Amino acid sequence: MATAEGGGGAAAESATSHTATNYDKWDMLDLSDDEDVSDCHPNIDGKLWLRLKKEKQHRKWQEEDAELHALEQEMDAKKKKLGDVEAEIQRRKDAGFGDEQSLGALQAQIATIAGEMEESARKKAKMEERKTWRSSEVAEVADGELVSEERKALDRQEEIAELSLEERMAKAEEGKAAGTALFKQQQWAAARDAYSDGFDYVRLLEQPEQLRQAADIRLALANNLAMCCLKTEEWGKAVSFANRALDVEPDNPKAVYRRGWGSLGARDFEDAVKDLTRAAKLSPKDKAIRKKLKEAKAARDKALKPKTDDEKADEYVENAQKHDAVYRHFAYLRDDDKSEEYINDHPELLNEHATGWMLLHCLELEMEGKSREMHKVARQNEMLEYITRSCREVKIVDDPRAATMPFFRSLRHPDPRARDGFHSDMQGVIDKITARAKEKKLEQAAAAEEAEEEIIVEKMEQAGEPGVEYLVDKKGGRVFRELEPGQLEQVRTL
C-alpha cells in the first residue's frame, strides 16, 4: 500500500493512470467569490484572501448602489421636467397664443425627454437585475459584519496566531497522524483535509528560528498534501504543495518527484520530464521514478507528434457515440442557468469533440432549412467554445468547469459590451455554417444532375446468340451493342 510519507517514488506511487483534459496549469485561476478557502492557491493566505475578496465585492456593490440611486434621482428630475413642458404646452393652448412653431419645439422636447427616460428605465432594470445575483455570488453581510463562514476562518487564524510554536507543532502532528490513518484506508480526500488542517498551524510562520524548528513537520505535511492531491487528481494543487515542500528542502526527492508527477497529470510534459529526470538523479535506485519518467517522455513525444486525420476521426466518432445523449440535451437547452448547471454536471462537454458535434449538427439543421434552430444550437456551441478557450488562456487544469462561472457572469452583466465579443464570434460561426450549407446544397445538386446523365449498363448474353454480349441500361430500359471500345449502338428498348 502507498503511504503518504513513503520513499521517493516506489513507496509513494499506487494511483492508477489517468488521461487529463488537455490544459496546462492551475495557478492563474481567478477563483470566484463564493469559493471555499480550501480552494485558494496554497501559496496564499486563504483567510486573508477571502476577506479581501469579500471587501472588494462589497465596495463594488456600494458603487453600484450609488450609481442606481443617482440614476433614480436623474429619472425623477426628467419626469418633473416632462411634466413642466406638458403643462407649458397646455397653458399656451388655453391662453390662445401658442403658435405652431413654438408648440412644435416643445413637442420635440417632450419626445427627447421621453426617449431619455426610456433608456434610463432599461438601464435601471438591468442594474436591479444585477442586484438579484448578489446572493448567488456571495452571501449578504448584515450590519457590516462578515459572513459566518469567513468569520470562522478568521477566528481560526487568530486562535492559531495566539498559540506558541510548540503548541502549533503539536497540533500539526495531530493533523499529520489523522491524515496518515485516513490515507492508509485510501480515503484520499479526507486524508488531504486532515493534513491541511495540520498544515494550517505551521503554514504562516515567518521568523527564521520558527521556520527552522518546524521544518520537518512542514516538509512532511506539504509532501503528504501533494501525494493526496495526486490521488484525487488535483494536479495543480499537487504541484503547488510540492513547491511548498521544496521551499523547505530544495532537493527533497519526494517533492521533486511529486511535482513532476503533478506536471505530467496537468499535461505540462516539459516540466514533468525536467523534474522526473532530476528526481531520478536524486534517487537513482528508485524504479517508480524511472517508470514515471519513461511515461512522461512517451507522453511528451506523443503530444509533439501530430495526429493523423484517421486518428482524429476515430477519436471524434468514439466520443460522439459515447456522449451523444449529453451533447444533444445541451444543444437544445434554452435557459442560461440550466446550461451552466448542465455543464458543471457534464464536464465531457468541455472539449473539441463536443464542439465538433455541435457544429456538424448546426450544419445538418441549416441543410434541412431549420435556420432558427441552427442559430440556437450555434449559441450553445459558442458557450462551450468560450469556456474551453478561457481554460487555455488562464491555464486551468484541475477542472475546466472553473471557467463556467466567470463566463455566465459575463452573459448576465448589465453592460451589453460584456457580451459583444461573444455575439460577434457566434455570428461569425453562423455565417460560416450558412455559407457551407449553401455550398453543400450546390454540390448535392451537381452530383444528382451528374447521376441523372450517367448510363449504368450491365453485360449480358442474348439467348440463341452464344458469345454475343449486349449492354443493358436497366435504368433507362435500353439495350446497346458495342461496335468498338467506347462506341455503343442502341438496338432496342425493353
DSSP-derived secondary structure for 92-126:
HHHHT---HHHHHHHHHHHHHHHHHHHHHHHHHHH
Q: Could you read off the pLDDT tens digit of each residue along the chain, which spans 494 residues? A: 455 655 444 434 433 333 333 333 333 333 333 444 444 444 444 545 555 556 666 667 777 777 888 888 888 888 888 888 888 888 877 777 666 667 777 777 887 888 788 888 888 877 777 666 554 444 434 334 444 555 666 677 778 888 888 988 999 999 999 999 999 999 999 999 999 999 988 887 778 888 889 899 999 999 999 999 999 988 888 998 999 999 999 999 999 999 999 999 888 889 999 999 999 999 999 999 999 999 999 999 888 888 787 777 888 888 888 889 999 999 999 999 899 888 888 878 888 889 999 999 999 999 999 999 999 999 999 999 888 887 666 555 555 666 788 888 888 888 787 788 888 889 999 999 999 999 988 888 887 766 555 555 566 666 556 666 777 766 666 777 777 766 677 777 76
Collapsing DSSP states into helix, strand and coil, what is residue 479? Answer: strand
For 312-453, CATH gives: 1.20.58.610
Cα 40 to Cα 57: distance, rounded to the nearest angstrom: 17
Cα 356 to Cα 429: distance, rounded to the nearest angstrom: 12
Per-residue exposure over 425-457, b if at least 16 CB sit within 10 Å of its own CB, e if not: ebeebbeebbeebeeeeeeeeeeeeeeeeeeeb
Cα 328 to Cα 348: distance, rounded to the nearest angstrom: 13
Cα 400 to Cα 344: distance, rounded to the nearest angstrom: 9
pTM of the model: 0.48
- CA-nearest of 208, 215, 259 to 237 is 259
Architecture of the domain defined by 150-305: Alpha Horseshoe (1.25)
Other residues' Cβ atoms within 10 Å of the Cβ of residue 459: 9
In the sheet that 478-484 helps form, which strands lie side by side, from edge to edge?
Answer: 457-461, 469-473, 478-484, 487-493
Strands 457-461 and 469-473: antiparallel
Instruction: Enumerate the domain spans of the chain.
Output: 48-137, 150-305, 312-453, 457-493
In the numeric block, which cell numbers belong to residue 62?
456600494
Cβ neighbours of residue 84 under 8 Å, at least 6 residues apart?
none
- CA-nearest of 44, 385, 37 to 197 is 37
In the numeric block, which cell numbers belong to residue 478?
435500353
Cα 264 to Cα 254: distance, rounded to the nearest angstrom: 15
Cα 44 to Cα 62: distance, rounded to the nearest angstrom: 27
pLDDT at 25: 33
Would 150-305 and 312-453 be classified into the same CATH topology?
A: no
Cα 37 to Cα 52: distance, rounded to the nearest angstrom: 12
Collapsing DSSP states into helix, strand and coil, what is residue 418? Answer: helix
Q: Which helix (H) or strand (E) holds 316?
A: helix 309-322
Q: How far is CA 470 from CA 86, 458, 462, 485, in A?
A: 96, 8, 7, 13
- CA-nearest of 211, 222, 269 to 245 is 222
Cα 429 to Cα 211: distance, rounded to the nearest angstrom: 56
Collapsing DSSP states into helix, strand and coil, what is residue 406? Answer: helix
Radius of gyration of the chain (CA): 35
Angle at 11 between CA 7 and CA 15, to 5 degrees: 130
CA atoms within 13 A on the CB side of 408: 21
